Amino acid sequence: MSASRRVIALRVTAVLTLVAVLAGCVSREENAGTQEAPATVPLSELSDVTLQIGDQKGGTESLLKAAGVLTDLPYQVVFSTFTSGPPQIEAATAGKIDFAITGNTPPIFGAASNAKVKVVTAYENGGDGDRVLVRADSPIKTVADLRGKSVAVGKGSSAHGHILAQLQKAGLTPADVKLVFLQPADALTAFTSGQADAWAIWDPYTAQVEQRVPVRSIAQATGVTNGAGFGIASDAALADPKRNSALGDLLVRYAKATRWAQDHPEEWAAKYSAAVGLSLPVATAAQGRSLRSSTELSGPLVDSEQKLADLFAETKQIASAPTFADWVDHRYDDVLKPFLTKAN
């Protein structure tokens, strides 16, 4: 090959390499930020639509049924049960579900991993049910006493964010303790058997263990993290005109259901207890303090999520902090506004 041809070949290779790099950048950027919402499809034309909804401990399905808002659906809804938020993010990215409600941390992990989801709704519960528990006979009295101790927690769950914030408040880092990443069922076994010194957990698991074994709470999320929940929707569902329209309708129904639950706490606790197989005292405690009421997906709330994302990055729990606002889609804000129970 002549020298001139070698120069041309090298230039072509460089251009193709640059195009490939730019394509990769575009691919990632396209997944961040609000998508343009497709045109709304009339509810009368959604009879062939089936929304796949992720659920935790039956909370979403049982609430919708208890409030009576599923009786006249113009589309179908199928619920799938998950142990925590991170698997829901994975399922949505894989196209297995269209929507789920998670705690405040799973969307951060989702954004950090470039998950194919967007945050479309917000829910508040104050954080009282998100607690760090120790056994009643434990010498541990405060979060500062956790230095050198083991803490069971679900990786990427709201409890993960909560324990990081509590450690920071106490002047500790994750390196000062041993975080043992376990899903709730395994964490319960480790905690009650003494294999873990403490357990960072959320309702209804908090209420469940408080009723079953002698424990003490040494910290709760109220005033430490935002205590929020978020509704995440798959990019595929948001891009599909029919599923997007059906989801908008279902979100309004959920917002109405949370208002009903607030107005009928005893009836809701009884129905929740029967639906998910929890004792009435557990159901009453969990829903009395951890009902996820529909609230505004506000700027301050998004900012508080960014602080939590930054904390995850600072403590090396994730490689780098995503820009959380890039993963928020406000397309349902206007239709939900009349039904919000509280604005942040």
Which fold would CATH assign to domain 35-125+229-339? D-Maltodextrin-Binding Protein; domain 2 (3.40.190)
DSSP 301-325: HHHHHHHHHHHHHHTTSSSS---GG
Domain 131-220's class?
A: alpha beta
pTM attached to this predicted model: 0.87
d(CA 111, CA 12): 35
Task: For residue 42, give the DSSP letter.
Answer: P
Question: For strand 131-135 and strand 215-220, is the pairing parallel, antiparallel, or unpaired?
Answer: antiparallel
Using one digit for the tens of pLDDT, what is the confidence trace for 61-103?
999 999 999 999 999 999 999 999 999 999 999 999 999 999 9
What mean pLDDT value characterizes the chain? 90
Which contacts of 311-316 are long-range, i.e. CB under 8 A and separated by 24 or more positions?
A: 311/161, 311/164, 311/165, 311/168, 312/105, 312/108, 312/109, 312/112, 312/161, 312/164, 315/164, 315/168, 315/173, 315/174, 316/174
CB-CB neighbours of 159 under 10 Å = 28
Span 221-249, average pLDDT:
97
Using one digit for the tens of pLDDT, what is the confidence trace for 293-321?
899 999 999 999 999 999 999 999 999 99
Q: Where in the chain is the domain with CATH 3.40.190.10?
A: 35-125+229-339, 131-220
